[in-house]
Copies of this chain bind each other. A is one copy, B any other.
């Protein structure tokens, strides 16, 4: 019998409410479930700290529902750039070292879920660097305690982030959920193929015929991380979808044609030339001054700390947010500075530096290839196990 007053039982999609929680986009609920189940793997009795950005309220509600269902213990923090900014601007820069009432919260936490969603990406633009630096410096142990948990950072779409991406809010929401609501298990399996190749390989080469890119790196003895958006894979971003390792002995030239904002500065067409693992020449169509100061930070900032290969096909455009950009399928990113220990043999530490600055090159064009030990693994942005791969 037809009915207009409730949920029809046998009519398929008709009259089915859009949301599980009243009035809420089903995708927010799916996001929360992915975060809690797949990414953070929360279990009953876990101590969970949730950081809620100003604009991430709706995701926080959906996450709280998931945490309640699982029987986790929850402390919710307000992570507002405006509130924190007001505190920092008013401060004289003398901060207590790792106040224990805050430190003990993180030391005892099993997971820290950061729900990012700023309402203004420029909110902290006018805080003096020396105040921010002093604050960060005073909190190193707190930060380490946080990173010792099963932490996960994710993003709730806001108008401010849509604006930074140059997109309408509706289109940006579609973009974010396409990136986040993947079949992560299937992607993890696909990424495992690349990880195996990198683990077994000795040298990676990037070539792009459209620019001057021809770069080789040693990956001998290094272990790649299958970054599948789950703490089970040592991966702490949702979305993720990249395989990364720690290169050495870099030689040649690479051009980063994906524009991005670093420290408030636009970078465009950065070109780096390496010899014996060290940057010997650099230029940029935009941002060269900031690039120079990054490269000259310390000894480690002249070397690469990361080679990352984006594999998330849900991310199909650049939005000027590194969390998304560097995972885009068909891109490769390299970072100047600090390497991740996970990529090195037990007990060894890799390149050390105060900085870790990612830059991205787009491989999705004719005449590009990514080789491992001379074998083409990706051509024109297509992996060799993908259908469209040109094996000729």
Binding site for B on A (CB under 8 A): 21, 45, 47, 49-50, 52, 54, 57, 60-62, 64-69, 71, 73-80, 82-84, 86-92, 94-96, 99-102, 104-105, 108-109
Contact = CB atoms under 8 A, between A and B. Distances in A.
B101 A86 contact: no
Contacts of A83: 52, 57, 60-61, 64, 76
Shortest Cβ-Cβ A-B pairs, 3 listed: A68-B90, A101-B108, A68-B87
A33 B74 CA distance: 31
Contacts of A62: 86
Given A69-B90, A82-B57, A102 B77 contact: no
Nearest to A49: B101
B86 A71 contact: no
A115 to B, nearest CB: 10
A83 B50 CA distance: 11
Contact of A73 (B21, B67, B96, B104): B96
Contact of A71 (B64, B66, B73, B91): B91
Contacts of A54: 57
Contacts of A64: 83-84, 86-87, 90
B102 A80 contact: no
Given A50-B78, A61-B82, A78-B78, 11 more contacts: A52-B80, A64-B86, A65-B87, A65-B89, A65-B90, A71-B91, A71-B92, A73-B95, A76-B77, A76-B78, A104-B108
A21 B67 CA distance: 37
Contacts of A76: 77-80, 83-84
21 contacts: A45-B96, A47-B99, A50-B78, A52-B80, A52-B83, A57-B82, A60-B78, A62-B86, A65-B90, A67-B87, A68-B87, A68-B89, A68-B91, A69-B90, A73-B102, A76-B80, A76-B83, A77-B77, A100-B108, A102-B105, A104-B105
Contact of A80 (B57, B67, B79, B92): B57
Scoring A50, A52, A54, A101 by chain B CB atoms within 10 A of each residue's CB, the highest score goes to A101
